[in-house]
Amino acid sequence: MKIAFAGKGGVGKTSLAAWTADWLARNGKNVWLIDADTALSLGQASGIAVENLPEPLICREDLVRERIHAGGFLNLNPDVGDLPETLGVDVPLGGAPVAGVEPGRKRLIVMGAVTNAGGGCACDANALLKALLAHIVMDRDEWVLVDLEAGVEHLGRGTVAYVDGLVVVSEPSMRSLQTGAEVGRMALDLGLKNQALVINRHAGGEPPKLDGLPEWSVSIPPMVGLMERQMMDSSVLGIPEQGEVDRFVEQVLDHLG
């Protein structure tokens, strides 16, 4: 299953992507984590030390030259089938696996800024990013979680058809919900109808009805343990509220099918 996470900056979508990947791995699933957000914080949120983070693909000039300019010609449809294993780094589990279950493997690929990758940009580095993202989403028969920026245009019109669900993450504020509604409308325009709204740091209550905002929603309340952890550690895994987090992740996954 392929799931994209999008929302306004700072709303917690990276945390939710990290929580979802860890829940899946602890339940025996192999997961690819794709950091396609300019903040590039998914690795740290997943418990990887800064010094062990992989170099973003967009900074790998050697690979860009090798794949995009192979043979002296500009190739906007490069062969990238080997790159996930080459670029991926293993991500540690955030807790014990489910009893009796062989834990799955989590792997992270850091993409970098995917500027206009869905709009036919001829930039060499973006051509490689777009090709790799399309390969992982379209050709890999595994769990794939993509941490996007606010929009979904990075996926491209063709690639988005292979995404099984979109999680729109928002804070309990009108500006954040309006951004979520814009993301939801954009996804609908691209044919991605299977959507869920997660309102983070929200005590509860029905969100306002905004055109484009996913109809199904779940609220995650403020978590004291998480807030205290983030003053000292970048990881969002293994927090005191982990049991609650797992229940929220299960609800979202059940809704997306």
For 188, counting Cβ atoms within 10 Å of its Cβ (0-12 exposed, 13-18 middle, 19+ buried), the class is: middle
Percent of the chain surpassing pLDDT 90: 62
Which structure tokens are listed for 100?
A: 């009796």
In the predicted model, what is the mean pLDDT of residues 43-57? 92
pLDDT tens digits along 200-253? 999 888 889 999 999 999 999 999 999 999 889 999 999 999 999 999 999 999
In the predicted model, what is the mean pLDDT of residues 71-75? 74
Query: Residue-wise over 76-106: b if at least 16 C-beta within 10 A, else e?
Result: eebebeebbeebbeebebbeeeeeeeebbeb
Which structure tokens are listed for 202?
A: 């929200």
pLDDT tens digits along 56-65? 888 888 888 8
Dist CA 10 CA 203 (whole Å) = 18
Strands 143-147 and 217-220: unpaired
In the predicted model, what is the mean pLDDT of residues 75-103? 91
Amino acid sitting at position 97: P
What pLDDT does 97 receive? 93
Alpha helices in 69-122, H assignment, sequence order: 83-87
Q: Where is average pLDDT lowest: 9-18, 82-91, 142-151? A: 142-151
Which structure tokens are listed for 158?
A: 């063709």
What pLDDT does 114 receive? 54
In the predicted model, what is the mean pLDDT of residues 144-151? 87
Q: How many Cβ atoms sit within 10 Å of the Cβ of residue 115?
A: 15
What pLDDT does 116 receive? 44
What pLDDT does 113 receive? 63
What pLDDT does 178 receive? 95
| Candidate CATH numbers 3.40.120.10, 3.30.365.10, 3.40.50.300, 3.30.390.10; the one for domain 2-256 | 3.40.50.300
pTM: 0.91
The 3-state DSSP class for residue 128 equals helix
The 3-state DSSP class for residue 196 equals strand
In the predicted model, what is the mean pLDDT of residues 12-20? 97
Domain residue limits, the chain: 2-256
Dist CA 172 CA 132 (whole Å) = 34
Backbone angles phi, psi at 66, to 5 degrees: -65, -45
What pLDDT does 69 receive? 81
pLDDT tens digits along 94-133? 999 999 999 999 999 998 765 544 444 446 777 888 888 8
Dist CA 210 CA 202 (whole Å) = 17
pLDDT tens digits along 176-188? 999 999 999 999 9
What pLDDT does 110 receive? 93
